[in-house]
């Protein structure tokens, strides 16, 4: 808490830059690495350019950079070929997949789960500070946006795979032969966000004195008049 926001963000950016540069050297598939890093570079630029007018909390920045750090590992190897099993075996003598009963490389599944788990809270912070959502909506909308962006990303993956085709398209898609891959990825992202919001709500229920009242007020009808054609008529009559 004693570290200023700017200094804290600078430290995170330096640490991330070191990791990113190290993993930019000889990635497994250079073209796939470039595709995977488009959104990463865009995210970093967005964070830097919005810091002065809209700095996030240290918690949000930390969660974002943990996720980007994990994504950078996936971009280096491609998600389907991250050798976490070999790393685990070198320390324990057994592969992680053997212990938990996995039959495929599930690094991509873990990243989709952490997408929801780690990014739902920063999304909640944005909703609260810009849209001024309260109560129920402060937990539901981050979950909803996480689910919808997860679906959007799966559509982007599909489009990129169709556009580039061949080995590059398949490496980027990373289904590993699972026809339900996209569905499982979206479900895991949703589960991660749900856990994050349940944990946040539980914390707030203990720390926030007006938690129950705010939750109740957020579900109360604010405008009893119907919209649609009734609202159009009201606007025309003004």
Report pLDDT digits (tens) over 9-49: 999 999 999 999 999 999 988 888 998 899 999 999 999 99
Nearest residue to 119 (alpha-carbon basis) of 60, 73, 75, 72: 60
- Check pLDDT > 90 for residue 100: no
Residue predicted with more confidence, 130 or 102: 130
Task: Return the pLDDT at 74.
Answer: 93
Task: Return the pLDDT at 130.
Answer: 95
Read off φ and ψ for residue 19, nearest 5 degrees: -65, -45
Q: Which pLDDT band holds residue 163 (cuts at 50, 70, 90)? A: confident
Domain ranges across the chain: 5-211
pLDDT in tens, 77-94: 988 889 988 988 888 888
Task: Return the pLDDT at 234.
Answer: 87
Residue predicted with more confidence, 138 or 162: 138
Task: Return the pLDDT at 231.
Answer: 87
104 neighbors 184 (Cβ within 8 angstroms): no
pLDDT in tens, 106-158: 888 999 999 999 999 999 999 999 999 999 999 999 999 999 999 988 888 77
In the chain, the percentage of residues whose pLDDT exceeds 70 is: 92
Task: Return the pLDDT at 171.
Answer: 56
Task: Return the pLDDT at 223.
Answer: 87
pTM of the model: 0.87
- Check pLDDT > 80 for residue 7: yes
Read off φ and ψ for residue 69, nearest 5 degrees: -65, -40
Cα–Cα distance, 44 to 61 (Å, whole number): 11
Which residues are CB-neighbours of 33 under 8 A, at least 6 positions away?
24, 27, 75, 76
Cα–Cα distance, 25 to 213 (Å, whole number): 54
Q: How large is the average pLDDT for residues 213-223?
A: 92
- Check pLDDT > 60 for residue 98: yes
Q: How large is the average pLDDT for residues 158-168?
A: 70
Task: Return the pLDDT at 180.
Answer: 74
Q: Which pLDDT band holds residue 1 (cuts at 50, 70, 90)? A: low
Task: Return the pLDDT at 170.
Answer: 59
- Average pLDDT of the chain to the nearest whole number: 89
Task: Return the pLDDT at 117.
Answer: 97
Torsion of Cα atoms, 124 then 127 then 129 then 131, to 10°: -160
């Amino acid at each position: 808490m004693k570290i200023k926001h700017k200094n804290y963000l600078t430290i995170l950016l330096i640490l991330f830059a070191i990791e990113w540069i190290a993993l930019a050297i000889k990635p497994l598939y250079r073209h796939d690495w470039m595709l995977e890093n488009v959104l990463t570079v865009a995210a970093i630029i967005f964070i830097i350019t919005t810091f002065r007018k809209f700095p996030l909390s240290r918690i949000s920045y930390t969660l974002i950079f943990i996720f980007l750090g994990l994504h950078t590992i996936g971009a280096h190897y491609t998600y389907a070929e991250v050798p976490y099993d070999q790393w685990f075996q070198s320390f324990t003598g057994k592969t992680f997949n053997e212990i938990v009963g996995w039959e495929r490389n599930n690094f991509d599944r873990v990243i989709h789960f952490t997408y929801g788990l780690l990014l739902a809270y920063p999304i909640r912070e944005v909703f609260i500070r810009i849209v001024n959502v309260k109560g129920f909506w402060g937990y539901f909308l981050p979950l909803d946006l996480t689910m919808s962006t997860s679906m959007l990303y799966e559509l982007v993956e599909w489009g990129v795979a169709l556009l580039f085709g061949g080995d590059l398209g398949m490496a980027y898609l990373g289904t590993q032969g699972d026809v339900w891959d996209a569905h499982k990825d979206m479900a895991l992202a949703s589960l991660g966000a749900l856990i994050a919001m349940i944990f946040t709500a539980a914390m707030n229920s203990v720390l926030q004195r007006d938690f129950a009242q705010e939750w109740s007020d957020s579900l109360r009808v604010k405008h009893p008049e119907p919209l649609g054609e009734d609202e159009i008529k009201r606007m025309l009559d003004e």
